């Protein structure tokens, strides 16, 4: 890949014009902030969300770094290739911030798919999956945006549907030796759920940036507002229905997978006029569907069809993504009949000239078909790869000897400290005994001096102290 980058890419010189006039280019500031937000979204958000397995936390975060590093490079290469195929002109490409952002979208696709088979793949298998998934994803990206010319600013179809159903189709064929529930490590606990909840908060906070990063200025405002309203609505629906289905208690799997369903569902139409009420309705419906899918549809897929969707990406990304595709069809149809809502910006948002709703439907169908077909193809190939001996376990590919060595050092240190403390106790006890013996000698000398004084004064008059201490004696003598 480094050779391809050296031959194929160069800097975008349009940014140099602002620097030559000592003026800050607003594009740099904007895309830098958006890159930071998206990087936190993908690496910390998805990385921590998938750390719910109690013995797979290091792997979920470590493999997340590996996937992002490889897939970002591949996405830029593949997107540039298909772009130049569309332009029918191959030349050096001027690399800019938007290419980097699109690379992070590709990383997000692979991370979503990773959630479906998390704990079942070795690093080599992960690299193999990443390479071919990015190739197929870039083709679908080219088809939906360049050929069909659909709208999907929040990537409900291009990223969420594709990533979810690619992973589900792959894991339908790429299974563990036994059912996941038969493995002792296939469990979560209080601390792993806490880390997963931590990642959920990252996703929830940075989702408006994810949906609005590539929107035009006017559409970006609507994308952020619509995403926030949809998120709060889906979160409310998730807590409400999780409580109803569990007799007044909340289930962690519902909260982890359904609270951000509104951010996925509003993605395709995030920069369009849905009205605030419409965005909240979309979020509420997606939250309900995601919770009900967790409660009823997920056990059917897992137990009856033996599709081992480990992180329930179908409920968190797949079903909300389909809802987002349907919402996009409806909103583009209504928007085409009322172009005045966009104050002259309709043509900038809607690149195609006609058949807007039909184009959205085509992109939805293409994303579903290509992702499932690609996942089944890669899953069939992976059937011939060796399976992990210890799935859902960090120690399969991570060194865990540091803790043991540390404990041995601690034992030596504790032994040294105990010897030192015992020596100190001996010294202290010896000094105390010497001090007590010296005090006894002094007390003996003082007592002998007192006795001598008493004998010498026995023939003289009684001391005032004796009269004060024993008044009854003097009274008896007078009587």
> Does 29-387 carry CATH code 1.10.3430.10?
yes
pTM for this model (two decimals): 0.81
Asked if residues 235 and 263 have their Cβ atoms less than 8 Å apart, the reply is no
Distance CA 349, CA 314 (A): 29
Which has the closest alpha carbon to 52: 174, 161, 189? 189
* Lookup result for tokens 């408006």: 208
Residue by residue, pLDDT tens for the chain (479 residues) are 889 888 888 988 777 666 555 556 677 777 788 889 999 999 999 999 999 998 899 999 999 999 999 999 999 999 999 999 988 888 898 898 889 999 999 999 999 999 999 999 999 999 999 999 999 999 999 999 999 999 999 999 999 999 999 999 999 999 887 777 777 788 888 999 999 999 999 999 999 999 999 888 778 889 999 999 999 999 999 999 999 999 999 999 999 999 999 999 999 999 998 999 999 999 999 999 999 999 999 999 988 888 989 999 999 999 999 999 999 999 988 887 676 667 666 777 777 777 888 999 999 999 999 999 999 999 999 988 888 888 898 988 998 755 554 455 555 555 555 554 455 454 445 555 555 565 555 555 555 554 544 444 444 443 333 333 333 333 333 33
Burial grade of 133 (CB within 10 A; 0-12, 13-18, 19 or more):
buried
For 339-371, write each residue's pLDDT tens digit.
Answer: 666 766 677 777 777 788 899 999 999 999 999
The domain ranges of the chain are 29-387
Q: Which two tokens stand for residue 62?
A: 């470590």
| Cβ-based neighbours of 237, under 8 Å, separated by 6 or more | 258, 283, 284, 285, 286, 287, 288, 291
């Amino acid at each position: 890949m480094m050779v391809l980058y050296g031959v194929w890419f160069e800097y975008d010189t349009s940014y140099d014009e602002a620097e030559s006039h000592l003026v800050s280019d607003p594009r740099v500031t904007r895309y830098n902030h958006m890159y930071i937000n998206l990087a936190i979204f993908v690496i910390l958000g998805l990385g921590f969300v998938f750390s719910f397995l109690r013995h797979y936390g290091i792997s979920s975060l470590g493999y997340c770094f590996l996937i992002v590093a490889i897939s970002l490079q591949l996405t830029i290469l593949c997107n540039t290739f298909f772009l130049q195929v569309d332009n029918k002109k191959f030349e050096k490409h001027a690399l800019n911030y938007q290419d980097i952002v699109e690379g992070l979208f590709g990383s997000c696709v692979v991370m979503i798919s990773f959630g479906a088979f998390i704990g079942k793949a070795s690093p080599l298998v992960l690299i193999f999956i990443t390479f071919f998934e990015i190739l197929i994803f870039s083709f679908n990206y080219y088809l939906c945006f360049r050929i069909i010319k659909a709208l999907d600013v929040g990537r409900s179809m291009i990223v969420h549907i594709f990533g979810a159903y690619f992973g589900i189709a792959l894991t339908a064929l790429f299974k563990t030796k036994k059912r996941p529930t038969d493995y002792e490590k296939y469990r979560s606990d209080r601390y792993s759920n806490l880390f997963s909840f931590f990642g959920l908060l990252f996703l929830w906070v940075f989702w408006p940036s994810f949906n609005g990063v590539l929107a035009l200025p006017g559409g970006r405002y609507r994308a952020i507002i619509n995403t926030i309203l949809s998120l709060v609505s889906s979160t409310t629906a998730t807590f409400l229905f999780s409580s109803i289905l569990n007799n007044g208690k909340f289930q962690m799997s519902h909260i982890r997978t359904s609270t951000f369903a509104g951010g996925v569902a509003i993605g395709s139409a995030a920069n369009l006029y849905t009205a605030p009420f419409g965005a909240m309705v979309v979020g509420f419906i997606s939250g309900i569907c995601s919770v009900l899918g967790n409660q009823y549809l997920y056990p059917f897929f897992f137990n009856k069809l033996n599709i081992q969707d480990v992180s329930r990406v179908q409920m968190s990304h797949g079903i909300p993504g389909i809802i987002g595709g349907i919402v996009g069809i409806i909103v583009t149809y209504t928007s085409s009949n009322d172009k005045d809502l966009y104050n002259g910006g309709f043509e900038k948002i809607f690149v195609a000239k006609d058949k807007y709703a039909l184009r959205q439907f085509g992109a939805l169908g293409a994303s579903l078909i290509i992702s499932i077909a690609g996942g089944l193809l890669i899953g069939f190939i992976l059937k011939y790869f060796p399976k992990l001996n210890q799935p859902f376990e960090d120690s399969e590919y991570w060194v865990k000897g540091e803790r043991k060595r540390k404990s041995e050092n601690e034992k030596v240190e504790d032994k040294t400290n105990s010897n030192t403390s015992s020596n100190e106790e001996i010294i202290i006890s010896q000094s105390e005994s010497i001090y007590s013996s010296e005090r006894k000698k002094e007390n003996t000398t003082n007592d002998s001096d007192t006795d001598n004084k008493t004998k010498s004064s026995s023939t003289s008059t009684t001391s005032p102290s004796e009269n004060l201490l024993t008044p009854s004696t003097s009274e008896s003598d007078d009587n």
